[in-house]
């Protein structure tokens, strides 16, 4: 029995976009697994993998979950620069994402994470240089 791949290349429902996005998702998930395995084999804690899981979740939401919720992969975020900016403007206009509490928590988490990272580096540099 031959596999019919023709439906994946129709442009009315995503087509090559769906193929590229699904393979991209598999690739970034495999890379996240590679990071975890490398840290496990080296006896390290898996915090790099945990930190990498946040952009993986964001990419999953924008490239896979949102198009499925809209009913078509043709509604997903474009893969180009100008299309991405247009998608962001239209997404804000349709959904008012900036006032969503989870978006506010995410932005606060990113800024808080960068603040804690800067404080950690500052403490580490002071411990090394002033001893």
Q: What is the SS3 string spanning the chain?
A: CCCCCHHHHCHHHCCHHHHHHHHHHHHHHHHHHHHHHHHHHCCCCCHHHHHHHHHHHHHHHHHHHHHHHHCCHHHCCCCCHHHHHHHHHHHHHHHCHHHCHHHHHHHHHHHHHHHHHHHHHHHHHHHHHCC
Residues 12 and 36 in one domain: yes
Q: What is the pLDDT of residues 43-80, one digit of tens each?
A: 999 888 988 998 899 899 999 898 888 888 878 888 88
Q: Which domain holds residue 34?
A: 6-96
Asked whether residue 126 is assigned to any structural domain, the reply reads yes
Residues 71 and 111 in one domain: no
Q: What is the pLDDT of residues 88-113, one digit of tens each?
A: 999 899 999 899 999 999 899 989 98
Average pLDDT, the chain: 86
Number of domains in the chain: 2
Distance CA 46, CA 37 (A): 9
Judged by average pLDDT, the poorest of 2-11, 41-50, 79-88 is: 2-11
Residues 87 and 104 in one domain: no
């Amino acid at each position: 029995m031959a596999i019919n791949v023709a439906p994946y290349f129709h442009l009315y429902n995503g087509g090559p976009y769906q193929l590229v996005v699904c393979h991209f998702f598999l690739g970034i998930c495999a890379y996240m697994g590679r990071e975890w395995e490398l840290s496990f084999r080296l006896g390290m804690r898996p915090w790099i993998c945990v930190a990498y899981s946040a952009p993986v979740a964001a990419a999953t939401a924008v490239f896979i979950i949102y198009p499925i919720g809209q009913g078509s992969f043709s509604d997903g975020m474009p893969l180009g620069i100008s299309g991405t900016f247009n998608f962001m403007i239209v997404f804000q206009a349709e959904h008012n994402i900036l006032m969503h509490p989870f978006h506010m928590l995410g932005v606060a988490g990113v800024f808080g994470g960068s603040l804690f990272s800067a404080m950690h580096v500052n403490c580490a540099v002071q411990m090394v240089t002033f001893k």
